[in-house]
Chain A
Amino acid sequence: MSSGSPILRRRFLAAGAALTAVVALSACGAKTDAAGSSSDRAAKIDVSGDSVKVGLLNSLSGTMAISEVTVRNSLLLAVGEINASGGVLGKKIEPISEDGASDWPTFAEKATKLIKEDQVAATFGCWTSASRKAVKPVFEKNKSLLFYPVQYEGLEESPYIFYTGATTNQQIVPALDYLKSQGRKKIYLVGSDYVFPRTANKEIKAYAKANGMTVLGEDYAPLGSTEFSTIANKVKASKADAVFNTLNGDSNVAFFKEYKSAGLTAKSMPVVSVSIAEEEVKSIGPQYLAGQLTAWNYYQTTPGAANEKFVKAYKAKYGEDKPTSDPMEAAYTSVYLWKAMVEKAKSFDPEKVKAASDGITFDAPEGKVTVDGASQHIHKTARIGKIGTDGLITEVWNSGEPVKPDPFLKGYSWASGLS
């Protein structure tokens, strides 16, 4: 019935226990309190050939793929343009694409792979804050650079991340200023249940308290949820002046349909969204969104020669029906910013690139952007837009000049208790 003799069985277990003990005792590395233990652990960059590798880390599968694929397309467009005009420091850029699969631990795994196995000079990508938080320690430990192209909730500065999307004071705060200037002082918060909406709403509530606005309600739906009749009815019953929407992805489709069927309109109670760009407008359907507001730093309609060139090149490469959006533009810009930093530093070494970053400018599709070396964010112009029936967004207000990034909202007294 049982396996062999009892003695054999006992030896079996004893051998296992001994093995564990030996292993636990044999391996000993640096202790956590050993200062400078990781000083020589900077990642190697492969610059031996006539090309230099960069990583593109985006979700190509899973729920985020619909948004992140457009970012990768945009990154590839920039890489192709740079290669066509001679590359960086005489080297062609060789993009290595990896799939983050909308799964945060996978992002960390692929980031490690790009840095250690491919020895990339820099990595571009990530969308959700959760994926950025998962890869942040990977880039910091290996002293490698990440360019993050999406607007986010602020309250972060990593020495190895360049943030080319908006931080709070370049998107959410201007949107609140705009609502206030329009006399819309009673607001209702609707968001997806994850880090960005919860943190953004914390900031919005602090702003409201200091600016004589009232927050009438705050509701969260799980990511991917399509059940919004309760929330739409609560919003209607609250008699708010405006809704601040931080919903992500497909949830927006259901939310705006319910919003319309509850009898609410852009005129009576406008919705300001911070995660709906041209691509999402197309999938939600402009008929549900016409007249609603968005806050970004770039729209496909933003005037200027640089944008005309970008939109034309993107459509030529990926199709006439493909719109361009803010995160795509920030991704496109990030590759050019990296190129300018490398050329100023005359080196691909991340430390030298960082040191050269302050004051780098680029005539981006959104207008002129400047890198703030201290925070590694960029100066961006805030723009409020109105969604049209054709699915495009037209600007109704802008900040006039690029806004200095302030990720920890140090320049705002109402935000003192936030971090």
Chain B
Amino acid sequence: MNLLKGRSARAWTGFAGAAVALFAVAPAALSDFRLGLLAKYLCMAMVAVGICLAWGRGGLLTLGQGVFFGLGGYAMAMHLKIADAGPGNLPDFMQLYGTATELPWWWRPFGNPVFALAATVLLPMAVAALLGLFVFRRRVKGAYFAILSQALASAFAIWLVGQQATTGGTNGLTDIQGFFGYALDDPVNQRMVYFVIAAALLLLIALARQLIHSRYGELLVAVRDSEERVRFLGYDPANVKLVAYVVAAGMAGLAGALFVPAVGIISPALIGIVPSIEFVIGAAVGGRASLVGAVLGAIAVAWAKTALSEEFPAGWTYFQGLLFVVALAFLPGGLASLAKVLRRRGATAPAKAAVVTVGEAA
């Protein structure tokens, strides 16, 4: 019982520390531009929370999170584009590329802010539920599940590119001016967007933590480690996996939706195979089974991408690749396992030191 209390107190301290860092330290220490970048990294971290749950705890290698990120992002961007254009007008790119004189039928519901907001989370969840039902019931797993996720991401990106008149094609939806009535070019409002993102991330972490430490969380790990045994115990592993997959999709959707006002663009380049893999890499580098590890890993990888590319514009991709290889080769459990590895080293180091002194004395 004492141990449980200790864990809970640690979580509280960590949570409070993160809140102070995100709400007090970062806004005071960073310029508007850097704070905007941090907002983007936090969106990546939100996706990582879901990946931690589905992959780290549930063993589902979700290589297609770009699809859910994109669904959330497009749902939000469609609403903001309609709001920017004003009642009765078409969004700018439709006037440029399209021949239609009115909004396509599937755009129209997104004019309603409540529908659009709900869709950013519920649409990815519904797609994930539908897909998960078919896939998990048929006991598709491992590499097959990963390949299927990748194919979906690729197909979605290609479809978006092809529908230039209604989706903006490769350009995606750009030049977003307002966010529910607030002008996005005002630094004060950019800051507001950052705060909303930071709060959403903390909420998602709290939610994921509750799930992980619940009875369901135990069951999820059990399914990851031995699906057959869980089946023999009378549970349906398909349902257990489905919940993790759907929750992860919802989180990616919310991340995509908040990415749009923070960065001002959503495009197929953020949805296809490469970005989907990048989401997973962040969680892998940080430590996929640990919430803190996955979140910090996603932030660190996104930050490293910016920092390295600013410092070495011509050769940064090599450094980034090297970073992944080193991290994964020497810390397979991700950065979250660093403390454990160091502790183990620490335990053996004094012994070694003693040997050295003896040697010197002789």
Interface of A toward B, CB cutoff 8 Å: 1-4, 8-9, 12-13, 16-17, 19-20, 23-24, 26-34, 37-38, 41, 60-61, 97-99, 101, 103-106, 108-110, 112-113, 116-117, 128-130, 133-134, 136-138, 141, 155, 193-195, 198-199, 202, 220, 222-223, 419
Contacts and interface: CB of A to CB of B under 8 A. Distances in A.
B114 to A, nearest CB: 16
B263 interface: yes
A30 B4 CA distance: 47
B309 A98 contact: yes
Given A30-B188, A37-B183, A116-B33, A23 B164 contact: no
A37 B270 CA distance: 31
B5 A222 contact: no
B220 interface: no
B214 A2 contact: yes
B210 interface: yes
Given A27-B195, A29-B189, A105-B269, A195 B32 contact: no
User: Of B23, B171, B188, B200, which is in contact with the most chain A CB atoms at under 10 Å from its CB?
Assistant: B171
B228 interface: no
Interface stretch (B7-15, B144-152, B240-248, B334-342): B7-15
A195 B309 contact: no
Given A1-B215, A223-B161, 15 more contacts: A12-B11, A19-B19, A26-B195, A27-B188, A27-B192, A28-B182, A28-B188, A99-B309, A103-B269, A105-B267, A109-B37, A112-B33, A112-B36, A134-B171, A136-B175
Interface in B1-31: 4-5, 7-8, 11-12, 15, 19, 23, 31
B209 A3 contact: yes
Nearest to B313: A99
B310 A98 contact: yes
8 contacts: A2-B213, A8-B8, A12-B11, A32-B181, A97-B314, A105-B270, A137-B264, A195-B97
Interface string B205-236: 01101100111001000000000000000000
Contacts of B187: 29
Interface string B300-331: 00000010011001101100000000000000
B265 interface: yes
A2 B1 CA distance: 11
Nearest to B15: A12
Given A38-B186, A130-B171, A104 B269 contact: yes
A199 B97 contact: yes
B169 interface: yes
A38 B174 contact: no
A31 B181 contact: yes
Nearest to A128: B170
Contacts of B177: 32, 137
Contact of A134 (B7, B189, B267, B313): B267
A94 to B, nearest CB: 15
A24 to B, nearest CB: 7
B109 interface: no
B185 interface: yes
A-B CB proximity, top 9 nearest: A29-B188, A4-B8, A27-B192, A32-B178, A29-B189, A29-B186, A23-B195, A194-B170, A20-B199
Given A20-B196, A116-B32, A137 B8 contact: no
B217 to A, nearest CB: 9
Task: Give the secondary structure class of B's interface.
Answer: helix
A30 B309 contact: no
Nearest to A58: B313
B135 interface: no
A30 B182 contact: yes
A137 B263 CA distance: 11
Interface string B32-44: 1100110010000
Contacts of A30: 182-183, 186, 188-189
A97 B171 CA distance: 23
Contacts of B182: 28-32
Contacts of A32: 84, 177-178, 181-183
B213 to A, nearest CB: 4
B71 to A, nearest CB: 17
Nearest to A192: B170
B171 A20 contact: no
B306 A419 contact: no
A195 B162 CA distance: 10
A209 to B, nearest CB: 14
B161 A116 contact: no
Which of B15, B186, B200, B218 has the largest number of chain A CB atoms within 10 A? B186
A129 B164 CA distance: 13
A1 B7 CA distance: 11
B153 to A, nearest CB: 14
A410 to B, nearest CB: 15
A28 B199 contact: no
Nearest to B195: A23
B220 to A, nearest CB: 14
A113 B310 contact: yes
B96 A419 contact: yes
B202 interface: yes
Given A12-B15, A32-B181, A19 B202 contact: yes
Contact of A61 (B37, B162, B316): B316
B88 to A, nearest CB: 16
Contacts of A202: 97
B166 to A, nearest CB: 12
Nearest to A140: B175
A221 B170 CA distance: 13
Q: Which of A13, A130, A199 has the most CB of B within 10 A?
A: A130
A27 B182 CA distance: 11
B95 interface: yes
Contacts of A116: 31-33
Nearest to B202: A16
Contacts of B188: 27-30
Contact of A29 (B96, B192, B198, B264): B192
